[in-house]
Amino acid sequence: MTSFIERYHVPEQHFWVRGSRSGPPVEYDAGTGLWSVYGYPELREALNDPVTFSSDTMRVVPKEMLPESEDFSLSGFLTQIDPPEHTKLRKLVSSAFTRKVVADLEPRIADLTHELLDAARERGGHLELVTDLAYPLPVTVIAELLGVPSSDRDLFRQWANALFERDTQVSLNKSTEEQRQDLQAALTPLKEMTDYLGTHAAERRRQPRADLLTRLVEAEVDGERLPDRQVVNFAMILLLAGHVTTTMLLGNTVLCLDAFPEQQARARADRASIPAVIEESLRFLTPFAAVTRATTREVELGGETIPADRLVMLWLGAANRDPRQFSDPDVFAPGRDPNPHLGFGHGIHFCLGAPLARLEGRVALNILLDRYDPLRTDPDDPVAFIPTPTMTGVRHLPLR
Ligand code: HEM
């Protein structure tokens, strides 16, 4: 592991990449005021109990810190709501965002991958995987799917960076002013995205098209349709979750195949093993390294008693390296079977976009292996990780 960390300059805050933890599976950190869960069985236990571990984390944020703005509404924000509202909304959006809708995208994903790699070759010089492929591919796919112009992707990137790229840890012990400023900083991009998607959704109500926004506007379960605000908030999750994480997955997978050349040779020779490579990449360098929950009651977990109304960080990345679940967790071994990693979460909030992320990963990696032999990073131009503690991904990955 030491060589991986040194070779790729893995930041200090990505502790789970730096080898399995030796500490307890559940811990309170007085510095941040947060509880953290690192162990695999403990994490599954929490994710299997959404009544105790609620996704409505705003309920524990003191009211005086919440913005008093009409622009701030988490209605329809699937990741932030609990049953029964979650169950109903998930059913509704799943009826529009189906497996068939995703599977039909395969030829377009392949064409786009070739187009992007051709464009990079025409520009000359080396391939910078993130700028040339891993960023533009998923954002274009999700924009085309939703029906918003993919030429606006710089705008989407600005919003995503403003919301996600932080090098500081979440903490409840910051001053009220600091917390308010953090929330305010998130409010501006949220407001801009709401207006942008609201305009597009309103247009689809007037003039339906063959796109996902239209399907969402028209989706109906038990005679009920989605209110505008919920269409916009769900589209917002798709636009953000639909590209940021998949960008990380593509970069991380190439990094893994660079670090473990024998696995690259194996994947090259046996393309049927690519899906297993993607799954192991999700375990080994978990893009969405932590999810947050709020306790609704006092609860025992991993030998600790977590009081009610506490914020709990569930470290998917650390659980994916728990030696009680995965033998030799710090080795990238796509042959693991089964590989029950938690990279897409677990339970009722399991990632709705997992089929799309897996498809994009498989198609793009196959084409990269076809066109680049070997796929190698450039030792003279170092890899750079995103500093955000809860996200594992590279933002600069130059290839030789
Ligand atoms: C939920 C990871 C790609 C849409 C989640 C969750 C994780 C996750 C860990 C659970 C959140 C929680 O429990 O609080 C990832 C990773 C991806 C990826 C690692 C890529 C490698 C995508 C894509 C889309 C998407 C491509 C859509 C196009 C969603 C949605 C949810 C979700 C809508 C919320 C589900 C719910 O709350 O019921 N994702 N995701 N994700 N993801 Fe993904």
Tell me, what CATH number does 384's domain have? 1.10.630.10
In a domain, 297, yes or no: no
* Residues 6+ positions from 375 with CB-CB distance below 8 Å: 254, 257, 258, 264, 368, 369, 399
**ipTM of the predicted assembly exceeds 0.95:** yes
Q: How remote is the C-alpha of 287 from its chain's centroid? A: 6
Geometric angle at alpha carbon 321, from 320 and 326, rounded to 5°: 85
In a domain, 368, yes or no: yes
In a domain, 272, yes or no: yes
Q: Indicate which atom in ligand 1 lies nearest the CA of residue 47.
A: 13
Give the chain's domain count.
1
Q: Indicate which atom in ligand 1 lies nearest the CA of residue 342.
A: 9
Q: How far is the CA of 353 from the centre of ligand 1 (A)?
A: 6
320 in contact with ligand 1, CB cutoff 6 A: no
Confirm if 269 and 182 have CB atoms less than 8 A apart: no
In a domain, 48, yes or no: no
Report the DSSP pairing between strands 34-37 and 311-315.
Answer: parallel
Confirm if 288 and 391 have CB atoms less than 8 A apart: yes
Q: How far is the CA of 241 from the centre of ligand 1 (A)?
A: 6
- pLDDT per position in the chain (400 positions), as tens? 568 888 898 888 888 888 767 789 999 999 889 999 999 999 999 999 999 999 999 888 776 666 665 555 667 789 999 999 999 889 988 888 899 999 999 999 999 999 999 999 999 878 999 999 999 999 999 999 999 998 998 898 888 888 876 655 556 666 666 666 767 777 888 889 999 999 999 999 999 999 999 999 998 777 888 888 888 998 999 988 888 899 999 999 999 999 999 999 999 999 999 999 999 999 999 999 999 999 999 999 999 999 999 999 999 999 999 999 999 999 999 999 999 999 999 999 999 999 999 999 999 999 999 999 999 998 888 899 998 889 999 999 999 8
Verdict on whether the full-model pTM lies above 0.90: yes
In a domain, 50, yes or no: no
Nearest to 169 by CA among 10, 349, 12, 302: 12
Q: Whose CA is nearest to atom 25 of ligand 1?
A: 353
In a domain, 270, yes or no: yes
Q: Which domain holds residue 387?
A: 2-22+68-284+318-399
- Report the run of H or E that residue 94 belongs to, with start and end: helix 85-96
In a domain, 45, yes or no: no
359 in contact with ligand 1, CB cutoff 6 A: no
Q: Indicate which atom in ligand 1 lies nearest the CA of residue 361.
A: 21
In a domain, 158, yes or no: yes
